[in-house]
Amino acid sequence: MKHWRLVSYDIREPKRLRRVAKIMEGFGERIQYSVFRIYSTDKELEKLRWKLAKVTEEEDNIFYLTLCTKCASGAHTQEKNPRGQKLQKH
């Protein structure tokens, strides 16, 4: 079963930051510079965690939040994302 999830990160070194962003772009939609929204199964989430663990260090921080259906349906933004595209309510 798939769930909406928010993943945010604080990566201390620019090269690792770019690697993490590239991995995240393969899994979801950027909604802020270091925040992504993904729609994944538990297995897909574990794959993402494994990939991120390979490129991050102890000093880095990644936060995962699984949203219930009701919470996910109420989530929206009025800001523009970094690429200048208007985000839509999902």
As annotated, the binding site for Mg(2+) includes 10
The annotated binding site is made up of 10
String of DSSP letters for 27-83? TEEEEETTEEEEEE-HHHHHHHHHHHHHH--TT-EEEEEEEPHHHHHT----SBPTT
Beta bridge partners of 32: 35
